[in-house]
Amino acid sequence: MLKNLKIGIRLGLGFGAVLLLLLAIALLAMNRMAVMNDATAYITADAYPKVVIAKDLIRDVVDAPRQMRGMLLTSDEAESERYRKVIEQLRADTNGRIAELTKLVASETGKKMLKQITDRHAALEPAYAQFYGLVRGDRQHAAEFVSKTYVPLNRELIAAVDELTRHQSDKMQKKADEAGATYEETRRLVIAMTAGAALLALTVAAFITLSVTRPLRVAVNAADRLAAGDLTVHIDSHARDEAGLLLAAMKNMIAKLTQVVGDVNGGAQSLASASEEVSATAQALSQSASEQAAGVEETSASLEQMTASISQNTENARVTDGMATQAAREAAEGGEAVKATVAA
């Protein structure tokens, strides 16, 4: 099935699978990072501010008795008034921090702890007016009031605030542990998915490379054998991809070349037979020409002999003619001599 797919489609499917795995890794990492970011945001924006406020609240609550003792120990009215202003500032800060906690605390457990804080703070508030009245009238009773009445109520308030602080610290630690576990799990998953993506990429690359290079090697080998004149090359390919189509085309080419070479061989054999017939005819013509040449030579020789005889006859005739002329001249001279003799 896969071998019939085009090479471009194979590459697209391979890279698509790798990209899907990379996308899955990215989505997983983003999701887990969002979880860790939520945990970090909860710690930094929710739990930690509550812990800071609670710690500041404990500091203010612990500092109030110290200021009261300082107020009891001084006899200077101005110094005493300074301590009183510090105490009132601590009270105002405490009320403000409790109001901030009321805005921030949202869980049912936190609200219950906050109610304990507000109740104990409300029980502690009237003690300040009593303390100020005792300081002005009887410092001894004021000191006893601080140690026996105010400090126990203040400790209960500190304990309630400390319980809320531990609760928020525990939630912070739990979120931190969850973030750490999420990190470890995400790291393992990302490593595993990255290794899987790398393995898949190598597998796809090897498959696609082999599916392309093997037919090409077959094609190159067939081309080399054809170049060497070997027409017995056999190509067996049923793939419908580009490489398969190339092999099929080469197979058709080899078949066509074989047919063409066969036709050429047949024509060459016919031409060779015709050449043999032409050669035999030429030989016969050559023999006839040789015989005709011999006849011509004999005729030429006869003609030469005839020419020589004619020449001889001509010469003989010329000699005869000369002799006849001489004889006639001599006869004429003899006749003239006879005529002369007769005349005499």
pLDDT tens digits, one per residue of 16-37: 887 888 888 888 888 888 888 8
pLDDT score of 176: 87
pLDDT over 80 (residue 119): yes
Q: Which residue has the tokens 């969850």?
A: 178
pLDDT score of 256: 82
pLDDT score of 87: 93
- Better pLDDT: 342 or 290: 290
Tell me the per-residue pLDDT of 169-180, one tens digit each, with 9 for 90 and over: 998 898 889 888
Percent of the chain exceeding pLDDT 90 equals: 27
pLDDT over 60 (residue 112): yes
Q: Sign of the C-alpha dihedral, residues 306, 307, 308, 311? A: positive
**DSSP label of 3:** G
pLDDT score of 335: 58
Q: Are 10 and 2 contacting, i.e. CB atoms less than 8 angstroms apart?
A: yes
| Residue-by-residue DSSP string for 195-246 | HHHHHHHHHHHHHHHHHHHHHHHHHHHHHHHHHTT-----------SHHHHH
pLDDT over 90 (residue 333): no
pLDDT over 90 (residue 201): no
pLDDT over 80 (residue 295): no
pLDDT over 60 (residue 343): no
The predicted model gives 194-198 an average pLDDT of: 87
Tell me the per-residue pLDDT of 44-95, one tens digit each, with 9 for 90 and over: 887 888 889 999 999 999 999 999 999 988 888 899 899 999 999 999 999 9
Q: Residue 200 is encoded by which pair of tokens?
A: 């898949």
Q: 0.75 cut: is pTM over it? A: no
Distances (CA, A) of 71 to 31, 68, 86, 338: 58, 5, 10, 224
Nearest alpha-carbon partner for 185 in 35, 41, 22, 20: 35
Q: Residue 67 is encoded by which pair of tokens?
A: 């200021």
Number of other CB atoms surrounding residue 58 within 10 Å = 19
pLDDT score of 36: 81
pLDDT over 90 (residue 120): yes
Nearest alpha-carbon partner for 51 in 156, 162, 179: 162
- Better pLDDT: 126 or 301: 126
- Better pLDDT: 247 or 119: 119
Using CA atoms, how far apart are residues 84 and 329, in angstroms rounded to an integer? 207
Q: Are 36 and 179 contacting, i.e. CB atoms less than 8 angstroms apart?
A: yes
3-class secondary-structure state, position 5: coil
User: What value does the mean pLDDT of the chain take?
Assistant: 81
Instruction: Give the best-scoring range by mean pLDDT among 111-115, 190-194, 199-203, 282-286.
Output: 111-115
Q: Which residue has the tokens 């020449």?
A: 311
Percent of the chain exceeding pLDDT 70 equals: 84
Q: Are 69 and 146 contacting, i.e. CB atoms less than 8 angstroms apart?
A: yes
The predicted model gives 261-269 an average pLDDT of: 78
Beta strands per DSSP E along the chain: none
| Residues 81-85: contacts with CB under 8 Å, at least 24 apart | 84/132
Q: Are 233 and 225 contacting, i.e. CB atoms less than 8 angstroms apart?
A: yes
Tell me the per-residue pLDDT of 204-251, one tens digit each, with 9 for 90 and over: 788 778 777 877 787 788 788 878 877 777 777 666 666 667 777 777
Query: Residues 6-42, buried b or exposed e (16+ Cβ, 10 A)?
Result: eeeebeeebeeebeebeeebeeeeeebeebbeebeeb
CA dihedral 56, 62, 67, 68 (to 10 degrees): 140
Q: Where do the H-state alpha helices sit in 138-150? A: 139-145
pLDDT score of 254: 77
CATH class of 2-209: mainly alpha
Using CA atoms, how far apart are residues 117 and 311, in angstroms rounded to an integer? 173
For Cα atoms 222, 227, 232, give the angle at the middle one, nearest 5 degrees: 55
